[in-house]
Amino acid sequence: MSPVSPQRPAKVTIKELAKALSLSPMAVSVALNGSTGTVRVSEKTVKRVRKLAEEWKYKPNAGARAIRARQFRSIGFFDGADPSILSMPTMLEVGIADRAAIHDYNLNVVRRPADPAKDAEMVPRIFREYQVDVLLTTNTHLLTPRLIDRILTSGYPVVYIYEKRPFNAIYFDDYQGFRDLTQHLIQKGLKRIAYLGYEDDTGHYSFKDRLQGYRDAMQSAGLKDRIYAHKLFSMHRLNDNERYEWLNAADAPQAVICYDDLSALKLESVCLKKGIRIPDDIALAGCGGELLHALSATPMTILEVSSLKMGRAAVEMSIDLVTNKKDQILSLPLLPEIKERMSTKVGTMAGAAV
């Protein structure tokens, strides 16, 4: 006569299975999930446990299992940028999300509060509850010391995006990129090449590296550098004649390389208002990609630093850290690409080599 199966409880758990079979919860867990190396059960017991689990339609608690294994198939992305400047999802976020989906990982996005005064009090949930396998972060140079400490002591493997670090970082080689872009213009026969950037140094490596790449290329060619700078994020408010008088000088630049999208778009606008033709009177090149390409009146030559590409590379590094249980990986510098368009196609422009 077959033994009568115990009555199915309202909620089937490992504890209920253990109680019905007169076994310890640990023995039931091992029977269902395999030996831990310290606790073993007989094949007969494994069959008993799995038979009842099937009859009762037992379903493992995925969340509890993830906590035990510390594997959530989830990536955290903490963007330290000021949300009042960039409120819409960026191409960086798109690149991260797309590549995470390919690996069947979820993405948890955390942003700073819109009110900067709350930065000091902010303790994102991602730092209070273990819920991701790895943390991607960017713009940490803009964070408060407290938030930086939270990242460093979070216990997560951390991948830094667009930060120049020896390990666990994805960033662009801005020095080599700007050196290559400057040399590209020099090879066109241009000699009076200027650099337009910012006076401010927020601590991000790109401020120094882009300028130094330009300077070294000019020095190698035996040319004099011309550096013009405005205050960060104030360039769009400047009067056209306030800081751009050098455009009308007798020895005005034949070409200008701009630090970023904002400075290139502003300079293009000033040139148009002054009747300075691009590229016949002056060649312009910028750095960035998405914004500059979409908004420039004259198709703009850019040193492309693809946020999409950077996001994808950051996810690949993250998966490597998690899958292979590594503490650190050598950082990956990406080389920006020169995308030439109409704004620097000077050809045999008159006086180019003067």
The angle at the Cα of 277, spanning 290 to 245, to the nearest 5 degrees, equals 95
Count CB atoms within 10 A of the CB of residue 69.
8
Same fold, 69-172+308-334 and 174-306+337-344: yes
Q: Which residues contact 52 (CB under 8 A, 6 or more apart)?
A: 5, 6, 17, 20, 21, 58
Topology of the domain comprising 174-306+337-344: Rossmann fold (3.40.50)
Count Cα neighbours of 265 within 13 Å in the Cβ-side half-sphere.
16
**Domain boundaries defined on the chain:** 14-60, 69-172+308-334, 174-306+337-344
Q: Which residues contact 287 (CB under 8 A, 6 or more apart)?
A: 174, 177, 178, 181, 210, 257, 258, 259, 260, 261, 264, 302, 303, 305, 336
pLDDT digits (tens, 9 = 90+) for 155-188: 788 999 999 999 999 999 999 999 999 999 999 9
- Class of the CATH domain delimited by 69-172+308-334: alpha beta
CB 241 within 8 A of CB 263: no
pLDDT at 354: 39
Report the chain's mean pLDDT, rounded to a whole number: 81
226-230 and 193-198: which strand pairing? Answer: parallel
> Residue 51: pLDDT above 50?
yes
Higher pLDDT, 130 or 182: 182
Reported confidence tier of residue 41, pLDDT bands at 50, 70, 90 = confident
Alpha helices in 129-192 (DSSP H): 145-152, 174-186
301-304 and 283-288: which strand pairing? Answer: parallel
pLDDT digits (tens, 9 = 90+) for 308-331: 999 999 999 999 998 888 888 999
Q: Using alpha carbons, select from 352, 170, 174 the residue that is nearest to residue 279.
A: 352
pLDDT digits (tens, 9 = 90+) for 97-119: 999 999 988 888 877 666 656 65
pLDDT at 107: 87
Helical (H) or strand (E) element with 218: helix 205-220
